[in-house]
Each structure stands twice: as C-alpha cells, then as structure tokens.
Structure 1
C-alpha cells in the first residue's frame, strides 16, 4: 500500500491521540475540534484497513495494530521535528552587525543584551558605536538604531519606541532654589547635548522642551556643552547644572536619588528607529534582532 497524502496528514493527529489517550485532548493540543480528530482517525483506519483505537466513554486505547503503528509513527515524527529544528537553528546562527550612537548603546542596549543572548544563544551581535550622530552613508551594518525623524532615503525603517525629555539635576546641589517656578532655570547653568539629532543647534533640546512646556522666558545660550547625552546627564549628577535627559538614557539615577526631575516630561519630536537595507528582514538572524528590538522597545521602563 502506498502512503498517500491523507495518511500523512492524519499521522500527527493519530500520534497526539495515541499519546494522550484522548481525542478531545488531542484536539486541544492541535487547535482543532474533537470532531475533526475523530473524522481524521476514522479516515486513517479506513485507509489502513484496521481499527487503531478502542473507543471508551472518556478515553481511547490503542489496539494491537494501533500500538504497532504508534511505535513506528512516534519516533518518525520526533525525528522529523528534530531535523526541522536543526535546520531552523542553522538559520539563527552567525553574526549581526548593529550600529548606533554610544549614549544609547551604553545606557539602554547593553543592559538588555543578556535577554537576547538567552533567547538566541547562537546569534552574535557585533555592536558598533562611534560618533554622536549616526552615519548611515557607509552602510557597514545589518541593523542600525537611530534617534531621528524617521526619514531614511534608500533604506527601510521600523519605529522602535518614542522618547521623552525632561530636566534633571542633582538633589545635593541648588537645594535653595524653588523649582516650582520656571524662573528657577535662569539661576542655574544649563547642560547641553550639542548633537541630539541631525542638524540640531547646540541648545536645541533645551529650546524644544521649554517651548513644549510653555516656558518662553528662559535664556538657553549658556552653560556647559557636551557632544553626548550621557555626558550631560553625568554632569548634572555631578552638580554642574541642569541637563535635559532622554528617558531612555536614565537607568536608576532617579530611583536611587542621584538625580531629581523638577519638571514634567515632554514627548520628543525624535523617536528611535530601526534602520536596515531593503529586504534585510528576509535574513532570519537580522529579523530575529529586529523583532526582539521591537518587542523590548514596546515594554515600559
């Protein structure tokens, strides 16, 4: 007897029913109805010409012929599943080159990479972080994470997460200032990330946050200037002044009392985007990194 398509299609259903001694439990495992399981088994028995199960009120038992069939089908299906798993794992083995800006890699990405490694132990992420702004012209990457407006001519992108901005200051400094009034900001040095996004002015983040907060009387062209956001935040923690913080670049500084946020958050015009070449997500390794970034980017905190 030739093994036709109906017999092959019913083997997985037969194996589940035989292993679980139940058509209803097999239906639940396979996400089909008990009636569909019963019909497939009936068709299989008709095809092979023998009864494979003895039906009882709450369970089924294999006949001698059914047991003989199960002892052949079960290891064959396990072998097929193991082979497919090995093939799939081979697609998820190798390196993925990821490029981003140092502040984001250091403060946000690196603390989360352990979770990726546990899920995909055979994928090696080669992280490249250089320059205050991301240079995408060279395209020597598989995936990049950029903080921008989402326009990447010649490339594809996916929104990963939004960003919030708010001032932070060390609670040990300027303790005599009444932070309930906006004018307090005129009494302290402002700390700037001079290159928060492409084509930004040195005080762009401060001007953006003040405008969004309705504070129009604060002079922003003063204070101390840094070319990385994490440096400005560290300067605030050290008591040099008040910095505009990106929420993603803070870890536990506020919870541990090293920084104080005297004013409300404002949603930034820039967001974090995953950038990649057209068609890159057809590569299983790149898609695994992309989908993981989307997943953790949507999680709070």
Structure 2
C-alpha cells in the first residue's frame, strides 16, 4: 500500500519515456472504485501487485498519487489532476477502432440494495431491465440500511434513510405511508385494540428504520419512543416478527400487501404517517454515469421506482 509520507525522492523518468500502461490502468481503477482491493479484483491481479503498479507509477511521475489517512485513502492534489489526463489517454486508446479485435468484456453494473427492497421490489422487476438491455450484467449486493454507507463496492446504491448523504449524488425514489399492523393470533391473545391509545396494552416491536414516535404524533399520542421489547433493524424481518405474533409493528404497503390480502396481517386504525422519516434514495458518485451501462441502469431505476410506480 502507498504510505502517507510526502513525495518520493526518486527522480522523475526522462521525458522521452512513456509511463507503463498497466500502471496507468491500475491507477485509474483504484481511483474510480475508491478501493485497491476492488481495483485488483477488476484487473484480475493481487492487491499487492496493484500496490506495486501504483508505486511504479508514482516513481515515474515523482509525485504521490494517493494520500492515506488511517484505513482510508484519497487522491492527492496531483493525483486528481493526473487522473484526468490518464482517463483521457486510456479512453483514446479504448475508443480507437480495431475491426479485428475480439469482442470486449460484457458491461456490468454493481448495485447495492437493502435486503427487503431487493426481495420485494427489485427482483420482481429486474426481468424488465434484462429484457431492455440483455447485454448488461447486473450484480446485486446487499447493504444494511443506516449502517453500510460506503459506495466503494458498487456503482449504484439504494439507501433507506433520511437522505443526508454528503459528497454523493442523491435522488429520492419514493416514500410511502407507514401504518400499524398485527397478526390475528396476536390480537386474539392481547384483546381488542380499537384505538391507538389501546396500544399501551400491547407489545410494540421496535426498529430504527420505522420509529414509533412520529406515528404517535400523527395518532395524537404524546408518547416517547418505546425503549423495551424486541428490536429488529431489517424491515423484512420486522414484518416476519409481526406475522409470527411477537407484537404490533409499523410497515408499508409494498411490504405487507400480500400478507394483508391473505389475512396473515390486519391493519389497525385509519392512522398512517404520510411522510415517514425514512424513504428510499438512489445514490451514486459523480463519475458513475460516465459508463453507458450505469447511465442506462440509473435511468431505468428512476423510471421504475420514482413517482409511485412500484
């Protein structure tokens, strides 16, 4: 790995020499993916080999390309300027027409999704994207809402949260009202729950993703956030806990629609939180749409999931 020390003392190479192309591609991949490990994987080399190529290029230019800060790293000021030159040069080489060249590798998009979004919304609609763009491979990774906040392993990510993600492009996909549900078996056990105030007799299932306190306000209850009882910070698991009769919880229609229709869940009251604190956002770094396949995927995601089209 590159050390955080200052510029190397090695003298720059003579002007007549060209920088090694394999080192240029290593530098571009590491800067684009913001990860030495992912860049090494993309180039089918070991991380140590990638670090060696970066050091080779730094020796050639006589400047630091990356500055390390603990476990993270960032482009140096010189590295940012040099990256534009390197990308332009590599693009020129890549775009030069070579009619006898074998077919290029299939374009792919790496997308990170919350588990429940992936299961209930994304996978049922992915066939449409595949039909529209059969030449693009989609690789799906799972991310934990409110915890996994790194884009280093994906081109595009869907986040379920408050939408405050500095330094990356953030576009709201949709939000949906939250409402209270329970299983018939739990209601038979706890007795009639006819009004929101009756919830004081019930077990309220907790989740950082669906806090109760905003819903309490919508219901006219001056109650604090519950501090005891089962807590589940996954919306799909929360719904399963409700279905199995562990208590009453908050959910949204696109998760619970099937269970409500089958009678596995019962919606309580007419109260719903029209604008919950968390919604779904599409996030990506500014350079991501420079690849055509990523642009197509972003446009499809927005057309599919924005403006209530789910």
- TM class, shorter-chain normalised? 0.5 to 0.7
TM-score after normalising by structure 2: 0.60
Aligned ranges 1:30-179 → 2 under 5 Å = 94-175=107-188, 177-179=191-193
Which of 241, 246, 250 is the equivalent residue of 2:252? 246
Conserved? CA contact 1:101–1:134, under 8 Å: no
Which of 206, 215, 230 is the equivalent residue of 1:209? 215
Alignment of 1:262 with 2:268, yes or no, is yes
Which has the larger displacement, 219-228 or 161-170? 219-228
Conserved? CA contact 1:91–1:284, under 8 Å: no
Q: CA deviation at 1:104?
A: 1.9
**Structure 2 unaligned regions, length at least 5:** 1-102
Q: 1:250 to 1:292 in 2, by over 3 A?
A: farther
Which of 175, 191, 196 is the equivalent residue of 1:182? 196
TM-score after normalising by structure 1: 0.61
Q: CA deviation at 1:127?
A: 0.7
Conserved? CA contact 2:169–2:283, under 8 Å: yes
Conserved? CA contact 1:92–1:284, under 8 Å: no
Conserved? CA contact 1:101–1:133, under 8 Å: no
Conserved? CA contact 2:180–2:248, under 8 Å: yes
Within 1, Cα distance between the matches of 2:113 and 2:150?
13
RMSD: 2.5
Within 2, Cα distance between the matches of 1:134 and 1:105?
17
Q: Which has the larger radius of gyration?
A: 1
Q: CA deviation at 1:92?
A: 12
Q: 1:282 to 1:255 in 2, by over 3 A?
A: same
Alignment of 1:235 with 2:237, yes or no, is no
Q: CA deviation at 1:300?
A: 4.3
